[in-house]
Structure 1
Amino acid sequence: MATSKAADNSIAFINGRVYTINDAQPWAEAFIVDSNGCFSMIGSSADITAQAKKDHIITHDLDGEFIMPGIHDAHVHLLMSSMAATSQIRLPGQGLTMSSLADELKKGKCLCKYGHANQDWLYAHTYMVEEFDRKALDADFPDTPVVVRGGAGHSVFANSEALRRSGYDLETEKDAQGAHFIRDPETGHLTGEMAENALSKLMIALPQPPIAHAKRVLREGQKMLHRAGVTSCQEASANTLMLTALRELEADGDLKLDVQTHIVYAPDWIGEEPSETLHKLLDEADEFKSIHVDTRFVKIILDGVPLEPYYTQAGLKEDGKVDESKLFILNVREAIQKYDERGMTMKIHCTGHGSTRLTLDAFETTRKANPNGPRHEIAHCSGVHPDEYARFKPLNITAEMSPAFFFRHPVTKASGGLMDWDFDRMRGADAHVTIGSDWGAGAEPDILPHMANVVDTIGEGDRAKGGERICRMLTLAGAEAVGREKLAGSIEVGKKANFIAVSKDLSKGEFEGVSVLKTWFEGEVVYEKP
């Protein structure tokens, strides 16, 4: 009986400039993808063409294009970003004032592809609103809760109705560990601007969209990742809604992306659901595992961000001790040990010298108790004390560098050294390095164009060397970080046929103006540039 799994259903790709990221065979011209979506033969165009004729299989001419493995994005917020891009109001990122905010919110309704998925709540995104006071929104929206997320996702501007529905006391709300409330200087009342752990009540109260809509926006987000050349990613804030939607997308045959889901342990506001259900989800994670979804991952945000006006990163005090007032949780050691024993990889968000040191200390304690435990990660690595770089390799810790769009960015320069992605020191310490877009803080999940800002540094002045190192960080190093190096990350026989065609030769460090021309997932075209 005829079947699409027969040998003659393979496809041969010839006449490419194939950069394999395989040291044993760094370059090739052609390859064959079998009916299971895996590479079955790699070599010259002549050899592949001869094999294709012998097996009577279809041949695709790559026409000299630069081909490399699909990108592994080490840090995305897929559901959050997909919702923001399709179903929520998008406001100007800079210079938004109170006088213009209400007008922008009213105009913004028509910018949403699918309309509002949050019942009667208005939900929008910006970076900063100058001199925010909830009373200015109350006049235009007296009965409608309004939430504007800002500060790279770490702060919120809310009107009175949103605060009331979320359970805040507008006059006497108490401070809490890691919470950052902006209060009226005369009365002490909440202005509606708040950051970090202060968001907990609001983000849990915010209505969740139905599963069908979550699936809808995840399909859109998947397309956006494919446009950026991403075929594998680490979701950095997985919750129950997302895992349920991914499970159904998998069952529908619509998931064309390998997703490693870091389920939120803490704080609850980044997971947008109570800690109790998030911890239960971690206990039941295996139930959501599938071919394309790996649930062996945990996320903790330990401190905030070194961005104005909050500066909520946990630094070191003069005595060398951690500034614990900036920490979001105080039991990170216990959490790491608990999930390390289960074989789950921890991704710990750290942006300050203090939080990074504390996390490395916790990993060191855990390694002594369980020397053969899984590889863990520190997310962002923009605030690493010079004394700490040498600790990453012996502790088997991945240095996940993100957000890529902040590398050598004006905001980075203006931080006074608080945001420093020191690839030189990480490479000098022989640390395992991956790169993430931190999609959610940026409008698009692009990584490749931003590598132009660091390619010379990573290559020690040799652009080609920098290109080679970056390509490895974006592919095989990512697969190694999540334990999938035998399945993906390079173009090798037996591995999944996830690959991209790119407009420039990235192995030479040509990142300026680069674009993804085509993306294949398991041998199937999932994106083609118009």
Structure 2
Amino acid sequence: MAQAAPDLILFNADIRTMDPLRPRAEALAVKEGRLTAIGRDDEIRALANGRTKKIDAGGRLALPGFQDTHIHLQDSGTDFSSSANLEECRTVEQFQTVLRAFAARRPDDPIVRGTGWYSGIFGAHNLDRAMLDAAVPDRPVLTYASDGHNAAINSKACEAIGLDASVADPENGKFVRDAKGVPTGLIYEDATEWVRRRLPKLPLDAYYDGVRFGQAHCNRHGITGVLDALVRERHMKVYCDLDRAGELTVRVRATAKVNPDETVEGALERLDALRRGFKTPMAQVHSAKFFLDGVLENRTAVMIEDYSDTQGGNAELFFEREQLRQLFIAFDAARYQLHVHVIGDGATRVALDDIEAARQANGAWPSLHQLAHVQVIDPADIPRLRELGVVANIQPLWARCEPSVTEVALPMIGEARGRWMYPWRTILDSGAPYAVSSDWGVSTLNPFAIMQVAVTRRPEYRKSNYPAFVEEECLTVEQVVRGYTTRAAEVAWRAEETGSLIPGKFADLILIDRDIFTIDPYEIGGTQVDLTLLGGREVHRAAGFAG
């Protein structure tokens, strides 16, 4: 029986399949969303008939679609589509100008929202309600830092929610206060959630639009799969509704947050309901999210030893130790992947200890539990990642000489521990499983800007004459690409159908405008994606690509 003609063929391409059995090819064929053949141009073109769509790659590099396994797709898409974008602001005056202009364009918004300010520049010394009042005095203002761990509100917002000196700090949160104990408007960690719940809510439609905005941004940068790093019921409703309507253009795995005030039974019951009740072919919950600490910028990262600067001290773990151990054991037994936020080396050690306890209680299984960020790790703990099969989910963009590193983090932890900040090459060389991700909207989701920093340890807008941050920890292009493809597919539990270009898998692939494996590494960040296919369907085509 003759093989049915493919729906689509791609030819005249330099295909890197990420399949060790057939690493390179020239052409491929797609039928009903899946790859059916891969090989030489003449072989694949012979399979086509008059109804087959034909794409001439023009010699471009083709790769599996990238997967970002730690990204806040829905929330960041919503933020950037409904808020003032403060990412480029580097002075108080710029911050105020952007916020003021945004408020003027949206006079009917009951609250003026902003997102993306840089906590390496803005903080208790220059960001408070008075600074925001000078930009928008007549409506509540809520602005988030790019890291999501800090926010700032103006006087109208403080009045609207009743935030004054009498209000105590919530658990795992802090209101920055002046000398009289009055909140300044700057808020840390879970205090941001306390504020958010008391201010006017966005309409549900804004989140559907946010996903549309965010997934289009992903597709333009070659991303076909994500792991949304913090979801609740609203997130999953939106994702599943969009999938049923045929509107999703990224594959979504999701991790649902477990709160420190929940019982083991209550948390399991809630996440089980999410996992059962919100599941479509393209969207589902697969992991439980735990924040063990905060960030160095606001001194909520948990270290093994106290901070090294003159202020000293340390942060407290966000969970009680025995409670955390029991939660890890219970969720591991229920076959959830654990997705654990760790910044300080103390939080990293606790996470490894309690994952080891879960393994001892329940036995080993291919969970690929993830530690997200791992900003600082004690070198004695690095071998444990491989031994326990724990994934280091890394964000290489942050490993560069920028104010948040050189002026904030390093003075806090000192030179000795600073050597083990973002030690990516050492972790990979240890044999630990890993994935590469962005944490968008904390920072850009552009995989090629991230890749350039990963292989140079310098900001993507700098060249080789700029200081590198611990240069011996540079990665290779191959390692980063695998961190976005085969490795990412494994940790998202979809390696059987995605991550490499092999017949039978989904035709999720990208064409890019340069060979990132051979060019000057300082040119990688400028890479443009000319075509993105999801299941053989075009979800992005650059204006200049006519293939």
Unaligned runs of 5+ in 1: 1-5, 269-274
- Determine if the alignment matches structure 1 residue 328 to structure 2 residue 324: no
Pairwise CA RMSD of aligned residues?
3.1
| Pairing partner for 1:311 from 286, 296, 299 | 299
CA distance in 2, matches of 1:336, 1:167: 37
Instruction: Please tell me whether the aligned partners of residues 513 and 529 of structure 2 are also in contact (alpha carbons under 8 angstroms).
Output: yes
How much does 1:191 deviate? 1.1
Which residue does the alignment assign to 1:72? 67
C-alpha separation in 1, matches of 2:100 and 2:330: 47
User: What is residue 537 of structure 2 aligned with on the other side?
Assistant: 524
Hey, what's the Cα distance between the residues in 1 that align with 2:187 and 2:419?
Answer: 21
Instruction: Quote the offset at 1:339 in angstroms.
Output: 1.5
Please point out which of 466, 488, 505 is paired with 2:498: 488
Alpha-carbon distance in structure 2 between the residues aligned to 1:392 and 1:367: 13
Amino acid at match of 1:495: K
Q: CA deviation at 1:135?
A: 4.6
Which residue of structure 2 aligns with residue 337 of structure 1? Answer: 329
In structure 2, runs of 5+ residues without a counterpart are 308-312, 411-417, 458-469
Matched, 1:425 2:426: yes
1:377-526 equivalences in 2 (<5 Å): 377-402=370-395, 404-411=396-403, 412-414=405-407, 415-416=409-410, 417=418, 420-442=421-443, 444-455=444-455, 466-508=476-518, 510=521, 511-526=524-539
Q: Give the Cα separation in 2 of the matches to 1:124 and 1:418.
A: 35
Question: 1:271 corresponds to which residue?
Answer: none
Superposed, 1:37-186 pairs within 5 Å as 37-53=33-49, 57-91=52-86, 93-97=88-92, 104-109=98-103, 120-125=110-115, 126-127=117-118, 128=122, 130-135=125-130, 137=132, 144-150=139-145, 152-166=147-161, 168=163, 170-185=164-179
Partner Cα distance (1:151, 1:246) in 2: 23
Q: Deviations over 1:209-251 (max 9, x none)?
A: 2332211221111100001110011101112221111111011
**Mapped pair 1:236 → 2:246:** no
Select between 343-352 and 154-163 the one with higher mean Cα deviation: 154-163
TM-score normalised over the length of structure 1? 0.87
Partner amino acid for 1:334?
Answer: Q
Contact 1:437–1:445 (8 Å) recurs in 2: yes
Q: Structure 2 CA distance, aligned partners of 1:197 and 1:463?
A: 33
Letter in structure 2 aligned against 1:474: Y
User: Following TM superposition, by how much is the alpha carbon of 1:22 offset from its aligned partner in structure 2, in angstroms?
Assistant: 0.1
User: 1:234–1:259: 8 Å Cα contact kept in structure 2?
Assistant: yes
How many percent of aligned residue pairs carry the same amino acid?
25
Asked whether the equivalents of residues 225 and 251 of structure 2 are also in contact (C-alpha less than 8 Å), the reply is yes
- Equivalenced residues, count: 502
Q: In structure 1, what is the Cα distance between the partners aligned to 2:372 and 2:33?
A: 31
Shift in Å, 1:161: 3.6
Match of 1:31, as an amino acid?
Answer: L
Cα deviation, residue 52, structure 1 = 2.0
Which residue of 196, 206, 218 maps to 1:203?
196
Cα pair 2:12 2:26 within 8 Å, conserved: yes
Question: Is 2:232–2:256's contact at 8 Å kept on the other side of the alignment?
Answer: yes
Task: Give the TM-score of the pair, scaled to structure 2.
Answer: 0.84
Displacement of 1:280 after TM fit? 2.6
Mean CA deviation greater in 348-357 or 157-166: 157-166
2:82 partner amino acid: S
1:299 Cα offset (Å)? 1.3
- Give the secondary structure class of the aligned counterpart of 1:67: strand
Aligned counterpart in structure 1 of residue 275 of structure 2, from 279, 285, 296: 285
Change (3 A) 1:172 1:437: same
